[in-house]
Amino acid sequence: MKLALATESDTAWELPYAGKVGMWGVIAAESAIFVIFIVAYAFYIGKSTSGPTTAILHTPIFLTVCLLSSSATMELALRGLRRGDTRAFSAWWFVTLGLAATFLGGTLLEWRHLIVDEGLTIHTNLFGTTYYSLVGLHAFHVLVGLTLMAVVAAFIIRRRVTRDHTPKLEVISLYWHFVDVVWVAVFTLVYVVGR
Amino acid sequence: MTLTMQPPPQTWTERLHSWVTTVDHKRIGIMYVLYALTFLVVGGVEAALMRLQLLFPHAEFVSPHAFNQLFTMHGTTMIFFVAMPMMFGFVNYLMPLMIGARDMAFPRLNAFSFWLTVFGGLLLYYSLIGGYGLYGDGTAPEVGWWAYAPLTEKAFTRGHSSDYWTLSLLVSGFGSIVTSINVIATVFSMRCRGMKLGKMPLFAWLSATMSVLAILAIAPLTAAQMMLMVDRYLGGHFFDTQAGGSAVLWMHFFWIFGHPEVYVLIIPSFAFISEIVPVFSRKTMFGYPIMVAASVMIAFVSMSVWAHHMFTVGMTASANSFFVITTMAVAIPTGIKIFNWLATMWGGKIRFNAPMLFCIGFLAQFLLAGLTGVMLASAPMTWHLGNSYFVVAHFHYVILGGIIMAVFAAFYYWYPKVVGRIYSERLAKWHFWLFVIGFHVCFDLMHIPGLLGMPRRIYTYEPGRGWEIWNFLVGIGAAIQGVAILVFVWNLIRSARRGAAAGSDPWDAWTLEWATSSPPPAYNFATPPVVKSRRPLWDLKHPEDPDWRYE
């Protein structure tokens, strides 16, 4: 059966890039997961029956600055790529990678301090359970982002990334901006409101 | 245009290999449906065993222990491994065809989510073997399908049965989330030329709506399962009441999933009805934009009704009032839909084939189920009826009277397309009448012991409370439905060999899947179609009076 019903309608037919729509779906699902963890954290503030409290936390201002600025540097990298300026793109991409790695390393040191010096583990009390789960869930997302960036970095080193790859890298950057936005919520709850 | 066809597989291992490694949305859809049918039989046997036990007071057919396992496994199986894969199967098979696409947006991801679902189902049933653990604490999970805390904590379930339950739902939940993302990306990025959002078949609209809702419902459940795993494996305290954890928090998290889940299942049912009723009434769908708006509204409102499952827990008066009002508000868009289907049938030239019979059954029974839903939406009513057989009767009325009826309608409607042969109309009518009679004997009467005060989940009961006759009749109704299901399965198997050839368009229908051969080729469309209206095949068949002149 012939299906060309409207050959005269040769108007432009543009649909959104599937990768981007898919990533918005991922963001919707992840947001719902984070909401549940955030609600659990907020619900249990001050309800621990024993052990350390939020007083032992140090506000990670430097790490927050690193993570938030990494969103900006990733945007700069993509702008470079859209212009076809691969040098600017690679430079900013590696800066972003470094900022993300700094954030993750900082979290590692923070946790080491909490576990070794303060004796707070996920098993200690409700604060420990909710804190490590929420911050850990976010840190896991940073790790995923870092892995994605490292894969791209490997292609950059082999000089395989061109302007044609912009839509794909935009999907990664969408994810990365989401991880940053989640950190704003987590930071506000855990280090500002929750103390 | 030349098409390179693969040579047909030779041996059965090659054929098996081609199915296991397939990324074709149609094959994945078929596998989803077969998988769901298999578990339908498993879950059905579990239901039959429970009804046998409740047939007479003080029966000792199964132990109390086994009874707890049966209702846990029955609920978990039917929702996660029958209803959900069934719906995703139909959406997978039909939606890309209807929007004129050659496959889903992410075919390999599609196969990945199917196999996750399979793995999840196997994990749940592996608990029968592995659940014993080192403690001899039972095999299958016995915490109920909503697994209220702190029953699932290490202190109360020492073996591995709860581990299998939570892992199984976590794994299949990821599968469902990923499929939903895939469906949304397909609807928004893969439509054929000319198919604007307002020209999509309602099926595609409702698939997308269901997928958004599935993402927003299943993700919280996934989060709650992660917390439960932190509790069980890392010694966390999320739901550990001895360390200050809250059992009520788990209830909230579970029902934030649990209630929208019902709509995840009913919205594709609406999609089936919205495709079948117009074709068998020989009219266009009445009020297409209103149907879309009502579906989206149902999805939206359903996100804020969950705590009507918790009226008996003891919430504040304002919280109760909020959830009463939101729950009752669901009746408004649902009522709009029912009136639209009736208006579509009104004055139409109705053909009473099996798909249409099931649609009409759906309309009547779903309405009745909705009415007891409005009763239970009222908090004071739930204080009396909560946790009784009235509630069990209500939600089985929705699921069997509504969702399953729509699924049967969809089976008969699309069977000729998928298999290429016509089912036996005579067997289908037997199936319809047996099922409807069995359904009403079973679930109309089940409301009565609930009103008389019979709690759900009890493994037996005292004689002399007036419950005996009702439980006996409910058991008879269940058996009649069992026979109906056997007739249905027999019809599917027999007609695949003996049915008359269907041709590409046996119903004289209007959506794009009927433009392909039956079964459709792997690539769906040799040339991507171009459409101008909501009924592209009508335009093709009636060039003198095409739809796009009026839309």
Q: How far is A50 from chain B (nearest CA, A)?
A: 8
**A35 contacts in B (CB within 8 Å)?**
220
Q: Which of A24-33, B147-156, B393-402, B508-517 has the lowest mean pLDDT?
A: B147-156
Handedness of CA B336, B338, B344, B348 (dihedral sign): negative
B421: β partners:
B501
- Alpha-carbon distance of B300 to B293, in angstroms, equals 10
**A138 contacts in B (CB within 8 Å)?**
none
Contact A35 B220 (CB under 8 A): yes
CB of A15 closer than 8 Å to CB of B541: no
A167 touches chain B (CB under 8 A): no
pLDDT of residue B1: 45
Q: Is the pLDDT of residue B183 over 90?
A: yes
Q: Mean pLDDT across the stretch B197-224?
A: 96
Contact B244 A47 (CB under 8 A): yes
**B181 contacts in A (CB within 8 Å)?**
22, 25-26, 29
Nearest-5° angle of CA B113, CA B511, CA B519? 60
Residue of A nearest to B514 (CA): A1
State the residue for tokens 């016995």: B142
Single-letter code of the amino acid located at A61: I
| Count of helix runs (H) and strand runs (E) in chain A | 5, 0
Element containing residue B489 per DSSP (H, E): helix B468-498
Mutate to test the interface with A, among B238, B255, B514, B517 (most CBs of A within 10 A): B238
Contact B529 A16 (CB under 8 A): no
In A50-123, alpha helices (H): 61-83, 86-112
- What six digits make up the tokens of B332? 């408004």
Nearest to A40 among B100, B185, B227 (CB): B227
Confidence of residue B340 (pLDDT cuts 50, 70, 90): very high
- Alpha-carbon distance of B77 to B73, in angstroms, equals 6
Residue of A nearest to B505 (CA): A1
Q: Mean pLDDT across the stretch B290-313?
A: 95
Task: Say whether the peptide bond before residue B201 is cis (omega within 30 degrees of 0).
Answer: no
- What six digits make up the tokens of B446? 């089940």
DSSP B296-329: HHHHHHHTT-GGGG-GGG---HHHHHHHHHHHHH
Q: How far is the CA of B392 from the CAs of B78, B102, B144, B363, B418, in angstroms? A: 14, 42, 13, 20, 35
- What six digits make up the tokens of B383? 């204080």
* Of residues B281 and A3, more confidently modeled: B281
Computed over every residue of chain A, the mean pLDDT equals 93
- Alpha-carbon distance of B241 to A126, in angstroms, equals 10
CB of B333 closer than 8 Å to CB of B298: yes
- Alpha-carbon distance of B241 to B262, in angstroms, equals 29
**A3 contacts in B (CB within 8 Å)?**
100, 512, 515, 525, 527, 529-530, 536, 540
CB of A57 closer than 8 Å to CB of A118: no
Q: How far is A53 from chain B (nearest CA, A)?
A: 14
**A32 contacts in B (CB within 8 Å)?**
215-216, 219-220, 223
What number of residues does chain A have? 195
pLDDT of residue B142: 87
Q: Is the pLDDT of residue B139 over 90?
A: no
pLDDT of residue B133: 57
As for the ipTM of the complex, it is 0.94
Q: A55: burial class by Cβ within 10 Å (0-12, 13-18, 19+)?
A: exposed
pLDDT of residue A70: 97
User: Residue B35 has what DSSP assignment?
Assistant: H
Q: Mean pLDDT across the stretch B69-97?
A: 97
- Helix (H, G, I), strand (E, B), or coil: what is residue A124? coil
Nearest to A4 among B177, B212, B527 (CB): B527
**A53 contacts in B (CB within 8 Å)?**
none
Q: Mean pLDDT across the stretch B464-480?
A: 96
Element containing residue B331 per DSSP (H, E): helix B331-345
Q: How far is B467 from chain A (nearest CA, A)?
A: 42
Q: Mean pLDDT across the stretch B501-527?
A: 95
Residue of B nearest to A126 (CA): B237
Single-letter code of the amino acid located at B93: Y
